[in-house]
Amino acid sequence: MLVWEIVFWLCVTLLVYAQAGYPLVLAALARVPRARAAIAPAAGEPPTVSLIVAAYDEQAVIARKVTNALALDYPRDRLEVVVASDGSSDATVERARHAGADLVLDLPRGGKIRAQDAAVARSRGEIVAFSDANSAWEPDALRRLVAAFADPAVGYACGQVRFVNEGGTNQEGLYWRYEMALRALESRLGSITAGNGAIYATRRASYIEVDPIMGHDLSFPFNMVKRGWRAVYVPQARAAEKMVPSLEGEFARKRRMMSHTWPIVLRGGLLSPRGYPPLYALMIASHRLLRYAAPFLHAAALLASFVLAASSTFYALALALQLALIVAALLARVVPLRPLLVARYYVLTTASVAVGLWDWLRHGTPAGWEPAEGTR
What's the CA gap between 152 and 167, in Å, rounded? 43
Tell me the β-bridge partners of 106.
85
When pLDDT is averaged across residues 190-202 and rounded to a whole number, the result is 96
pLDDT band at 40 (very low <50, low <70, confident <90, very high): low
* pLDDT tens digits for range 225-240: 999 999 999 999 999 9
pLDDT band at 35 (very low <50, low <70, confident <90, very high): low
What's the CA gap between 195 and 191, in Å, rounded? 11
Query: Of the candidates 213, 232, 86, which has an alpha carbon nearest to the alpha carbon of residue 146?
Result: 232
Which of 170-174, 189-193, 222-226, 336-340 has the weakest average pLDDT? Answer: 170-174
* Residue 178 host element (H or E): helix 172-189
The yes-or-no verdict on residue 13 having pLDDT over 60 is yes
Does residue 78 lie in a domain region? yes
CATH code for position 174: 3.90.550.10
The yes-or-no verdict on residue 77 having pLDDT over 60 is yes
Contact residues for 186 (Cβ-Cβ < 8 A; gap 6+) = 26, 192, 193, 233, 283, 287
Does residue 60 lie in a domain region? yes
Does residue 18 lie in a domain region? no
Between CA 244 and CA 354, with CA 194 as vertex, the angle to 5 degrees is 60
Q: Is 28 helix (H, G, I), strand (E, B) or coil?
A: helix
Rg of the chain in Å (alpha carbons): 22
At 367 the pLDDT is 79
CA distances from 124 to 33, 69, 120, 209 (A): 40, 16, 8, 17
Does residue 361 lie in a domain region? no
At 375 the pLDDT is 60
At 138 the pLDDT is 97
The yes-or-no verdict on residue 126 having pLDDT over 90 is yes
Which of 71-80, 268-277, 324-333, 364-373 has the weakest average pLDDT? Answer: 364-373
CA distances from 251 to 153, 198, 349 (A): 37, 19, 6
When pLDDT is averaged across residues 340-356 and rounded to a whole number, the result is 96
At 165 the pLDDT is 75
Q: Beta strand 200-203 with 154-164: parallel, antiparallel or unpaired?
A: antiparallel
Q: How many domains does the chain have?
A: 1
What's the CA gap between 69 and 65, in Å, rounded? 6
The yes-or-no verdict on residue 303 having pLDDT over 90 is yes
At 41 the pLDDT is 61
State the chain's mean pLDDT as an integer: 93
Query: What is the per-residue burial (b if ≥16 Cβ within 10 Å, else e) of 215-237?
Result: bbbbbbbbbbbbeebbbbbbeeb
At 174 the pLDDT is 80
At 321 the pLDDT is 97
At 285 the pLDDT is 97
Does residue 1 lie in a domain region? no
Domain that holds residue 206: 49-245
At 175 the pLDDT is 86
* pLDDT tens digits for range 127-173: 999 999 999 999 999 999 999 999 999 999 999 999 887 667 777 77
* Strands annotated E in 108-267: 127-131, 136-137, 154-164, 200-203, 230-242
The yes-or-no verdict on residue 350 having pLDDT over 90 is yes
Q: Write the DSSP assignment of 333-348 as a string of letters.
A: TTS--HHHHHHHHHHH
Does residue 288 lie in a domain region? no
What's the CA gap between 143 and 168, in Å, rounded? 34
Q: Is 16 helix (H, G, I), strand (E, B) or coil?
A: helix
Query: Of the candidates 79, 77, 66, 84, which has an alpha carbon nearest to the alpha carbon of residue 143?
Result: 79
CA distances from 84 to 112, 240, 332 (A): 9, 21, 40
Does residue 201 lie in a domain region? yes
The whole-model pTM stands at 0.92
DSSP state of 309: G
φ and ψ of 180, to 5 deg: -65, -35
Query: Of the candidates 47, 40, 104, which has an alpha carbon nearest to the alpha carbon of residue 75?
Result: 47
The yes-or-no verdict on residue 342 having pLDDT over 80 is yes
pLDDT band at 261 (very low <50, low <70, confident <90, very high): very high
